């Protein structure tokens, strides 16, 4: 018996990294998974390896090995019609319910705010913030129709609580996610749907650990390093560390928690 037996979860950005970990962890606890990923380079301004169709296939294999079932398609969270069709088809495939949503797909890039290209700014906001709104717009009607309450978790960042230098677009997008989540929490509370944000420090994923842009910033502009130092000198988090919090916030143990900013940040927001 798993704590999410019979539940259906929609997760964006599942091809690898945090999204893959959420999918396998929910599957191991009995949930059915609806998922999407662009499985390609989402923006010309990112400088870490892009996810691939092979990554998507690996996620599907790992979900099956965990005892779960994955209904997934390749697509862009910026495409509202794609998300709406995917969620509708996934909900129908799994018997007409949707209980949990994890908005996770996102990008990160670097640059001084006055030197950023307009496309760089727009890509970041369109994926990290507007893409989250489209995820909610595509999924909330199905949660309401099912009438089972549920939980929505939006992945923000340390940068969603403490703005970071060289990350104007990223910080703005992640701060915006907090406002979006807290409005949703107020509107959905009477339906028994809880909405929270999770705020990690760096996580060991391709985006977190293989970003050439970050390496250049820290090598060329060490004066910015103090803004990124956490209290605990543990290095980057593992994907399981963040998944622990996402599964907790989605569970009955968190039934009294909504509208919160849940920090998993080694104290980085307090520095």
Known catalytic membership, residue 170: yes
Angle of helix 118-125 versus helix 168-188 axis, rounded to 10: 30
Q: Is the dihedral of CA 154, 22, 166, 46 positive or negative?
A: negative
Q: Which one is catalytic: 22, 48, 132, 170?
A: 170
In angstroms, what CA-CA distances link 210 with 1, 48, 101, 157, 215?
A: 37, 6, 27, 17, 8
Residue 78 region by backbone torsions, left for phi larger than 0, else alpha for psi between -120 and 50, else beta: alpha
What whole-number distance in Å separates Cα of residue 153 and Cα of residue 245? 10
Instruction: Write out the two tokens for 264.
Output: 């998993």
Q: Compute the residue count for the chain.
A: 271
Bridge partners, 10 (sequence order) = 34, 101
Q: DSSP letter at 225?
A: G
Q: What are phi and psi of 228, to 5 degrees?
A: -105, 0
What whole-number distance in Å separates Cα of residue 54 and Cα of residue 26? 21
Could you list the active site residues? Answer: 170
């Amino acid at each position: 018996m798993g704590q999410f037996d019979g539940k259906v979860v929609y997760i964006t950005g599942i091809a690898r990294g945090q999204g893959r970990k959420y999918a396998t962890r929910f599957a191991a606890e009995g949930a059915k998974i609806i998922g999407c990923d662009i499985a390609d380079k989402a923006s010309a301004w990112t400088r870490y390896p892009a996810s691939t169709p092979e990554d998507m296939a690996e996620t599907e294999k790992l979900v099956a090995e965990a005892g779960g079932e994955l209904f997934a398609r390749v697509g862009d969270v910026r495409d509202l019609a794609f998300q709406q069709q995917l969620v509708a088809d996934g909900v129908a495939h799994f018997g007409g319910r949707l209980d949990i949503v994890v908005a996770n797909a996102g990008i990160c890039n670097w640059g001084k705010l006055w030197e950023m290209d307009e496309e760089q700014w727009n890509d970041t906001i369109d994926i990290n913030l507007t893409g989250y709104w489209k995820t909610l717009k595509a999924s909330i009607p199905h949660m309401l129709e099912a009438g089972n309450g549920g939980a929505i978790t939006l992945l923000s960042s340390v940068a969603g609580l403490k703005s970071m230098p060289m990350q104007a677009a990223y910080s703005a997008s992640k701060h915006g996610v907090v406002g979006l989540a807290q409005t949703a929490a107020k509107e959905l509370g009477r339906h028994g749907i809880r909405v929270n944000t999770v705020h990690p420090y760096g996580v060991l994923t391709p985006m977190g650990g293989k970003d050439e842009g970050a390496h250049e910033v820290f090598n060329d502009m060490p004066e910015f390093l103090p803004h990124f130092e956490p209290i605990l000198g543990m290095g980057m988090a593992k994907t399981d560390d963040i998944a622990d919090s996402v599964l907790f916030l989605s569970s009955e143990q968190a039934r009294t928690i909504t509208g919160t900013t849940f920090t998993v940040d080694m104290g980085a927001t307090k520095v």
